[in-house]
Amino acid sequence: MRRRRRVARLRRAAALLLTAGLAASLAACSQIGYYGQAVGGHLELMRARVPIDELLRAPATDPDLRHRLAEAQSIRDFASRELGLPDNGSYRAYADLGRPYAVWNVFAAPELSLQAKEWCLLVVGCVSYRGYYDRRAAERLAAELRDEGYDTYVGSVPAYSTLGHFDDPVLNTFLRLGTLAVARTVFHELAHQIAFVPGDTPFNESFATAVEEEGLRRWLRTHGSSEQRAADSAQRQRRAALMTLLQSHRERFAALYASALPLAEKRAAKAALFAALRSDRTALLAAWGGHGGDDRSAADDLNNARLASLALYSELVPAFERLLANQDHDLPRFYREVAGLATLAARDRHAALRALLPPADGGNGRAGALAGGDSADENSLPVR
């Protein structure tokens, strides 16, 4: 019976995805290949799912995997019980994809702008990235965009959300990253099922990051070890320092690109600013003995696309944290306020959130919230 239900769910999933792909192909033939890989990649992921309860009971399950999955289920229960996040089939199954990341997202920005390029997709609206299940396909698109004059960045994504349309599984891609990463991921992705506005990446990702941060603080208080709390505290401080550095440079780039300097002078000044940013970043990491909250991307070639991607996923986090504080950290009340914001026109929604932001020179308030995870990376048809 369980097998028949799983097959039926897969058929419904295939029908939905194929319908999306067909509609997209009718709208633009160039989209056929893109939606095709999205359909195939997601269905492959769904077929790989195994109920975690079955794995926990199976004698053949590797002991280390059994321990990690049991911990993941405890985190999943905490998410609904203590954070008010949806109590459904998401993160009740496990899938090993046989690769280190779930998808790879391509970000692009013009040569002299921090405004990320957008792609308009079904279900999620216009987003500032394009996701692929095959890294080579993502790299090919990035190369094509570079040939067109864009700065590009390919971000590695350990997880994504289908917004509750499907029961998203725990993946090996984030289970391997440890307990804190599992907690962050589950809280973040489930938050997307609470509120999601098609076409508004900064709103969606900043809200989910605020829930992730609050959720992890609460989980650490009641379930974390002293070592985990110390590690999280150090990581938060380092990320905040790194993001403060990046934010200050973003402001310099924005001023440069808005200036009336001749093109050649802008290009030279851009190169000099990025050289200074790389030098400052290297010095900051060296002060930590080469370890920071952004280690995975420490060797990245920083460019406009990378800076744009960071802003997309963190810019409004301080506003959501202030909104949460205004609700006395009552998460259900906070969710209702966010749901109300989601009904507003984009201009009014962002104006309301920006009114909650600390002053630009407020220091730590803005910087700490910019510490929302490495890639700002997550998805296309699937969304983070």
Mean pLDDT over residues 135-155, rounded?
96
Q: Which residues contact 100 (CB under 8 A, 6 or more apart)?
A: 156, 158, 173, 176
Calpha distance 332→324 (Å, rounded): 10
Mean pLDDT over residues 149-163, rounded?
95
What is the b/e burial string over 31-70, where b = at least 16 CB atoms within 10 angstroms of the residue's CB? beebbebbbebbeebbebbeebeebeeeeebeeeebebbe
Calpha distance 260→360 (Å, rounded): 24
Calpha distance 270→192 (Å, rounded): 36
pLDDT digits (tens, 9 = 90+) for 18-70: 444 434 333 444 577 888 899 899 999 999 999 999 999 999 999 999 999 99
Residue 174: closest CA among 101, 239, 229:
101
Instruction: Quickly count: other Cβ atoms within 10 Å of residue 184's Cβ.
Output: 24
Reported as a pLDDT band with limits 50, 70 and 90, residue 371 is: very low
Query: Would you list the domain boundaries of the chain?
Result: 2-179+188-193, 227-369
Helix and strand totals (H; E) in the chain = 15, 8
The identity of residue 117, as a single letter, is: K
pLDDT digits (tens, 9 = 90+) for 192-204: 999 999 989 999 9
pLDDT digits (tens, 9 = 90+) for 353-362: 999 987 754 4
Is a pLDDT exceeding 60 seen at residue 166?
Answer: yes
Residue position matching structure tokens 């999943």: 76
DSSP 180-198: HHHHHHHHHHHHTTT---T
Calpha distance 182→210 (Å, rounded): 16
Q: What is the mean pLDDT of the chain?
A: 85
* CA distances to 105, 133, 345 from 158, in Å: 11, 11, 32
Contact 96, 346 (CB under 8 A): no
Which tokens go with 219?
């989980």
Is a pLDDT exceeding 80 seen at residue 370?
Answer: no
Contact 52, 67 (CB under 8 A): no
Pairwise pLDDT comparison (276 vs 313), residue with the higher score: 276
To the nearest 10°, the Cα dihedral for 358, 110, 374, 249?
Answer: -50
Q: What is the pLDDT of residue 34?
A: 87
Contact 116, 150 (CB under 8 A): no
Contact 71, 182 (CB under 8 A): yes
Mean pLDDT over residues 183-194, rounded?
97
Contact 349, 342 (CB under 8 A): yes
Going 361 to 243 to 76 to 218, the CA torsion angle's sign is negative
Which tokens go with 180?
């804190």
Instruction: Quickly count: other Cβ atoms within 10 Å of residue 359's Cβ.
Output: 8
Residue 249: closest CA among 282, 213, 274, 217:
274
Q: What is the pLDDT of residue 244?
A: 87
Contact 111, 304 (CB under 8 A): yes
Q: What is the pLDDT of residue 291?
A: 54
Contact 167, 89 (CB under 8 A): yes
Calpha distance 329→322 (Å, rounded): 9
Reported as a pLDDT band with limits 50, 70 and 90, residue 307 is: very high
